[in-house]
Chain A
Amino acid sequence: MSVRRLLAAAAVAASVTASVAAPVLAHEGHAHGGEEPKPVVAMAAPTLETSSADFELVAVAQGRILLVYLDRFTTNEPVNGAVVEITADGEAMTASPVSGEEGVYRLEAGWLSKPGAHDLTVSITAADASDLLIGTLEIPATAAVATATGTRGGVSDVLARVRQDSGLLLGAAMVFLLGVLTTVALTQRGRPRAVAGAVLIGLGLLLAGGTAFAHGDEDHGQDDKGKSPAAIPSTAPTGASESPRRLPDGSLYVPKPSQRLLSIRTTVARSQEAARTVQLIGQIAADPNGGGHVQATQIGRIEPGDKGLPYVGQRVEAGQILAYIAAAVNIVDRSGIQQQIAIVEQELVIAESRLQRLRKLEGSVPQRDIEEAEATLNGLRKRRAALSPTLTTKEALRAPISGIVTANNVKVGQVIDGRDQVLFEIVDPARLMIEAVAFDPRVANTVHMASATTADGVTLALEHLGHSLALRQQAIPLLFRIIAPPQGLAVGQPVRIVAQIQGMASGIVLPRKSVVRSGSGQPIVWQHESPQRFVARPVRTQPVDANTVLVLAGVEPEARIVTDGAGLLNQVR
């Protein structure tokens, strides 16, 4: 019973100590409220992060070389061509730009190999802004040794070190002794006092062992000293040795080289008013004045036009002959017509000879008879002319408008037997519309501005033309005209429409690409909280138009939100 009480007391003490100690350890010097403790990121190299309203600076020390990554504070764009002067330990030096890298500056200085805290003053003179930044760079005392030994940490290594070091051997023996004592104490049942005594002795022994472990950094074995200069990792001039990773609190640690690689860009959140919007689903339709059908007026056989039959996708001009139809005349009709032609031709011969005869007797026969014969002959010739082409004349099918042929339903020689059969469809790509449906009559009445996106991300500016007064399948059809339609749109293509309706909402306007989905499917944005740290912020959004969203909740004004590369950040695990 008392053991349990002891344990409980120990747990309470530990939790109290931890909660008091954590903030104390988090800040050196003094701290104020309003700063939430940030997770400590173990970085491979000594790093200095600092920023002002214009610039964001990350300096990474690698041996005697200091690499300075300089970016714009608001946009995270690398700053090129700046003069970066670094003053440390009373020594001012100018960092030279690294060729082939954007916004990276390099400095080689002797003080970088001196362990301890170095106060840095960085003077930046860029084309449009200049600034002074300060920061402290901590060079660990055993930077070189740590990197040399840190790479080896296996059991065999530990055993080897124990064997070489008498202090370690002593410690190991004490730990073993503690184990034996604890076992003895635990087997003596119902004797808490004995247990407590054993624990005390054990702790004492452990402490003694600890002092044995914690001897200074004198001789750690000869091989370490021999190897350490060679074991310092020879990193690339950009120092891309670290990779982005997710921290225990869910935020991301993204080193500057990775940010450059992913070309992360940010924007500063500003509170704004935007019109309320609704989302509609629609599809692209042809303008009734910008789309045409070609149909035959009679039964017949298709014959190609002068340039052959038009193919789908071909551009045709208004009035261009697309095809001919040779009228189909059945045998009974044909023989009837031929019979009629024969009769007319026979009468024609008689009328001609009669007229010639009468002309020879001109003066002796009445003029009226001659004129009558001429009229008869003319009438017969016209009948002959009207009858003969019915067997040979073709009907020309012309394009009713200029545009692109979108459907061709005929082949050469095909017989057209119905007048309602559509032979060709032509659409004018410059005159396309979008037909949408709204289920709320109020939406249909208040829509004034709209934009649409296709499945492949093309944005279309729309002009509202009107809406139907008759419901179609319980919904109101709305019609929009596409202003300056881009190439590659197809009739029937589905689009997502964001239509502005009356009323305003206030929030933060961000590009649509800023909003990504978290692992749980929640919409989030990434906030650039400190130079190399990004925090996910769950948000509630409403579309403004096809490319921007209005964040109604979840983002504070003045926060820096990732615009470009948010999707890539989201994939960091």
Chain B
Amino acid sequence: MKFSTFALATVLFAVPAVALADGPRIGANGGQRTDAGPYHTELVLKGNDVVLYVTDAADKPVDVTGAKAEATILADRQTQKVVLEPAGGNALKGRANLGGAHDSVKVVTALTMPGRKPVQARFEMGRTGH
């Protein structure tokens, strides 16, 4: 085999591995980040505030004006539903009753971007790499 052919093959095989490699699971705002349909979503719990940041697959912020979101939160064995409202930029905000404990809180968000179908995402706080 010619060296050039070999080199070409190596490059071709290496490209998908690099291109497909996933970024860190922690988002730009310090929250857990996960996939939601065509988007990346990042959830931050601060006190009783629930903030959902939406980015595209390349981690560029997506404007969420006109978007709707709902979070189902399981904390202390209690399930509660929180409506998240657009709060400027790529953030959706809502208030929940968490009692300050963010460990082993599980959150499911349903995000509806304008003119799109709802997409779901699941977060498990206090547990990384899941």
**A131 vs B125: C-alpha distance when bound (angstroms):** 12
The A/B interface has a contact count, at CB < 8 Å, of 60
Chain A interface extent, by class: 20 to 34
**A123 vs B124: C-alpha distance when bound (angstroms):** 14
Say yes or no: is A522 at the interface (Cβ < 8 Å to chain B). Answer: no
State how many angstroms separate the Cβ of A463 from the closest Cβ of chain B: 44
A132 and B122 in contact, given A33-B17, A33-B21, A87-B72 (Cβ under 8 angstroms): yes
B130 near A123 with CB under 8 A, answer: no
A134 near B35 with CB under 8 A, answer: no
A33 near B122 with CB under 8 A, answer: no
Q: Which A residues between 25 and 82 are near B, CB-CB below 8 angstroms?
A: 29-34, 52-53
A29 near B77 with CB under 8 A, answer: no
Say yes or no: is B62 at the interface (Cβ < 8 Å to chain A). Answer: no
**Residues of chain B with a CB closer than 8 A to A32's CB:** 20-22, 35
A29 near B35 with CB under 8 A, answer: yes
A134 and B122 in contact, given A119-B110, A123-B72 (Cβ under 8 angstroms): yes
**Residues of chain A with a CB closer than 8 A to B21's CB:** 32-34
Which listed residue (A87, A119, A132, A136) contacts B74, Cβ 8 A? A132
B13-29 vs A, CB cutoff 8 Å, 1 = contact: the mask equals: 00011011110000000
Question: Chain A contact residues: over half helix, strand or loop, or mixed?
Answer: strand
Which listed residue (A53, A121, A130) contacts B72, Cβ 8 A? A121
A33 and B108 in contact, given A52-B124, A53-B127, A121-B120 (Cβ under 8 angstroms): no
**Residues of chain A with a CB closer than 8 A to B118's CB:** 119
Chain B interface extent, by class: 20 to 34
**Residues of chain B with a CB closer than 8 A to A148's CB:** none
A132 and B35 in contact, given A119-B120, A125-B77 (Cβ under 8 angstroms): no
**A32 vs B119: C-alpha distance when bound (angstroms):** 18
Which listed residue (A31, A85, A125) contacts B20, Cβ 8 A? A31
A29 and B37 in contact, given A132-B108, A134-B120, A134-B122 (Cβ under 8 angstroms): yes
**Residues of chain A with a CB closer than 8 A to B119's CB:** 119
State how many angstroms separate the Cβ of A444 from the closest Cβ of chain B: 47
B25-50 vs A, CB cutoff 8 Å, 1 = contact: the mask equals: 00000000001011000000000000
**A132 vs B118: C-alpha distance when bound (angstroms):** 17
**Residues of chain B with a CB closer than 8 A to A123's CB:** 72, 74, 79
Which listed residue (B22, B106, B117) contacts A33, Cβ 8 A? B22
A29 near B124 with CB under 8 A, answer: no
**Residues of chain B with a CB closer than 8 A to A53's CB:** 124, 127, 130
State how many angstroms separate the Cβ of A279 from the closest Cβ of chain B: 39
Task: Give the nearest-CB partner of B119 in chain A.
Answer: A119
Say yes or no: is A133 at the interface (Cβ < 8 Å to chain B). Answer: yes
A133 near B122 with CB under 8 A, answer: yes
**Residues of chain B with a CB closer than 8 A to A85's CB:** 79
Which residue numbers of A lie inside 8 Å of B, CB to CB? 29-34, 52-53, 85, 87, 117, 119, 121, 123, 125, 130-134, 136
Nearest 5 pairs of A and B residues by beta carbon: A33-B20, A32-B22, A134-B120, A132-B106, A132-B74
Which residue numbers of B lie inside 8 Å of A, CB to CB? 16-17, 19-22, 35, 37-38, 57, 72, 74, 77, 79, 106-108, 110, 117-122, 124, 127, 130
- Interface contacts beyond A132-B72, A132-B107, A132-B122: sample of 18 additional A-B pairs, CB < 8 Å, sorted by A: A29-B35, A29-B37, A33-B20, A33-B21, A34-B21, A52-B106, A53-B127, A87-B72, A119-B110, A121-B108, A121-B110, A123-B72, A123-B79, A130-B74, A131-B74, A131-B106, A133-B122, A134-B121
